[in-house]
Every structure is written in structure tokens, then in C-alpha cells.
Amino acid sequence: MNVGLFGFGRTGRLVAEEIIKDSECKLKWVVRKSAADNHKNASDFLGFPHKNEGRFFTKDEATEKGFFSEHPVDVIIDFSSPEGIYEYAEAADSGARIVTAISKYGEKELALVKELSGKTAVLHSPNITLGINFLLVVSQILKDIVPQADIEIVEEHFREKREKSGSAMKIASKLGLDPLEHINSIRVGGIVGKHEVVFGLPNQVIRITHETISRAAFGTGAIFAAKKIVTAPPGLYGMEQIMYEEFVKNISVERLV
């Protein structure tokens, strides 16, 4: 699977590394803000000198007409910025699938995401880690089983993060909880991200927890998503939807007994 990557910041570099290490993927190119160093390829920059993967292009080069026909890929993975979608929108016309992990799209960008999904398969997930989406699915199932439970959400992040976690807000929404009353935020040290859903019952407490140890987890999730939609028809997909389908497909009464 040939992959193009938008964004080479703190997270983007780890995502690129995960793509390079995956034997089923080939990182064809990386688009970043500038090319202000001596490295031609991302693989050289990241310490894989024999891979020859991820040729660097600037944003200006990527927006030149014909870029995506000259450098075709099966999937574009976006870890750049909300405005990045305008830079690769043209690629949808050639059938390239799109995985975007941008968390804070404006209304115009969200409208463009939906427009592109009419041309190709687009997966949008603000938190694309496997674990958080598994937590979302299981929490909803558990709430249906024990609707009488008291439910609280605890989210922990690095001290510089001011706002409430977007993932915690989504969990609250899916569980029908008021985020102001049921999200408890902790800001300490250099925690990447931890989310816990606590179900309180009269005689027991059930905790469903996910912790991101490294931002490389976003790369693992993005690759998983890309593999799932690389042959999918046009449409708008979500990581939670894919995780639910995998959950249902792999769980059976026979396996649980």
C-alpha cells in the first residue's frame, strides 16, 4: 500500500516512522512546511538510510497542478493542520483514499471532508488510536447492559493542555452525559493522554482505561484505518465504526464460553 503523509511535526514524524516500519506499507512522500535541511527523504531523517522512503516536498510543491497524478498513492494520511485538506483535495479525483486525524476542523473544512467523501473513501477521526476507539465501543455496550450505573469520565494529560480532552467530550456525548458534570480533568507532568470510564454499581466498580504511552500510537491507528479503507467505496467512515465492525466480527458466543 503506497502512502502519502501530510504533516511532519512532533506527531507526524512518529507516524512516518510507523509507516516505514510496516512491511505492508511504502511511504512514497511527505509534505511538510519547508525543506530547510539536508535530508531528501524522511527515511534518512528518521534513521532508516537504506529504506529510501518518504521523499520530502514542501506545501508549495504539493499544491502545484498535477502533483498527485505525478506522485500517485493509494492513501493519504493527514496529521498536518485543519487547512491541510485544501492542499490535497485534488487527490480525491484520482481515487486516493484519505485518512485524516485532524481534531479541530472548522465548519468549512468539515463540509469539504463530506464533499470529498462523495468521490473517495474518507476516514475522519480526531483520536485515531486503536485503544480509545475500543474504549468508546465497549463503554457504549456496557452502558446498555447496566443503564443504572453511575458513570464518570477521568482524563489525564500533560500540564500545558488547557482545554478538556476532545476524546473525553466525545465519550460523554456517546454515553449521554453532561461533560461539565461528568468529565474530571487532571493535568500533571508529561502525560501523553489517559482516559478512563468508571461505572459504579452497588457491589462493584468497572473501569475501562486507555493510556497512550507514545504518540506513535496515532501512527499505528492511522495505518490500521488506511488498510481498512484502501479498497472501500466512496463514503465517510469513522474509526469507531470500523472498530465496532471488527469487534462484532471477532466476538462470538463460542469463543467466550
- Residue range 135-144: average pLDDT? 96
Kindly state whether residue 256 falls inside one of the protein's structural domains: no
Query: Over pLDDT 90: what percentage of the chain?
Result: 82
Neighbouring C-beta atoms of residue 109, cutoff 10 Å: 18
Q: What is the pLDDT of residue 256?
A: 56
C-alpha cell at 106: 472548522
Residue 203 pLDDT grade (very low, low, confident, very high; cuts 50, 70, 90) = very high
Residue 57 included in any domain: yes
Question: For residue 232, which amino acid is it?
Answer: A
Is residue 255 pLDDT above 70, yes or no?
A: no
Residue 175 forms part of a structural domain: yes
Same domain, 191 and 237: no
Q: State the catalytic residue, choosing from 21, 161, 164, 227.
A: 161
Tell whether 206 and 194 lie within a shared domain.
yes
* Structure confidence by residue, pLDDT tens digits, 77-129: 999 999 999 999 999 998 999 999 998 899 999 999 999 999 999 999 988 99
Answer whether residue 38 shows pLDDT above 70.
no
Residues 186 and 60 in one domain: no
Q: Residues 221, 208: one domain? A: no
Can you give the CATH number for the domain in which 105 is found?
A: 3.40.50.720
Q: Is 161 a catalytic residue?
A: yes
Of the pLDDT bands very low, low, confident and very high (cuts 50, 70, 90), residue 36 is low
Q: Do 138 and 221 share a domain, yes or no? A: no
Confirm whether 91 is domain-assigned: yes
Residue in 157, 182, 195, 228 annotated catalytic: 157
Tell me the sheet residues that pair with 206. 199
> What pLDDT, on the 0 to 100 scale, is given for residue 144?
96
| Element counts in the chain: helices (H) and strands (E) | 12, 11
Give the total number of structural domains in the chain. Answer: 2
Residues with Cβ within 8 Å of 160's Cβ and at least 6 positions away in sequence, in order, are 187
pLDDT, residue 239, reads 93
Is 70 exceeded by the pLDDT of residue 257? no
pLDDT at 247: 84
Per-residue pLDDT at 54: 95
Give the Å distances, CA to CA, from 228 to 61, 98, 123, 136, 210: 29, 11, 10, 19, 22
User: Which DSSP helix (H) or strand (E) runs through 210?
Assistant: strand 204-212
Same domain? 134 vs 7: no
Assigned domain for 174 exists: yes
Can you say whether residue 92 is alpha, beta or left, with left for phi > 0 and alpha for psi between -120 and 50 degrees? Answer: alpha
Q: Are 214 and 191 spatial neighbours (Cβ–Cβ below 8 Å)?
A: no
At residue 86, the pLDDT reads: 96
- Any domain includes 110: yes
Does any domain span residue 255? no
Could you say which DSSP state residue 41 is in? B
For residue 29, being part of any structural domain is answered with yes
pLDDT for the residue numbered 35? 66
pLDDT of residue 250: 79
Whether 231 and 115 share a structural domain: yes
State whether 229 and 109 are in the same domain. yes
Q: Are residues 86 and 145 in the same domain?
A: no
Percent of the chain's residues with pLDDT above 70: 96
Is 39's pLDDT higher than 90? no
More reliable by pLDDT, 33 or 239: 239
Residue 224 or 104, more confident: 224
Is 157 one of the catalytic residues? yes
* Same domain, yes or no: 6 and 89: yes
pLDDT at 37: 65
Please return the burial class of 257, using the count of CB atoms within 10 Å of its CB with bins 0-12, 13-18 and 19+.
Answer: exposed
Full residue range of the structural domain in which residue 191 is found: 130-212
At 62-73, the pLDDT tens digits run: 999 999 999 999
Look at residue 252 and tell me whether its pLDDT is greater than 80: no
Whether residue 189 is found in the same domain as residue 203: yes
- Residues near 66 by beta carbon (within 8 Å), at least 6 away in sequence: none
Tell me what pLDDT residue 104 has. Answer: 84
CB 198 within 8 A of CB 151: yes
Is 170 found in the same domain as 108?
Answer: no
DSSP 194: E
In the predicted model, is pLDDT for residue 43 greater than 80? yes
CATH number of the domain that 159 lies in? Answer: 3.30.360.10
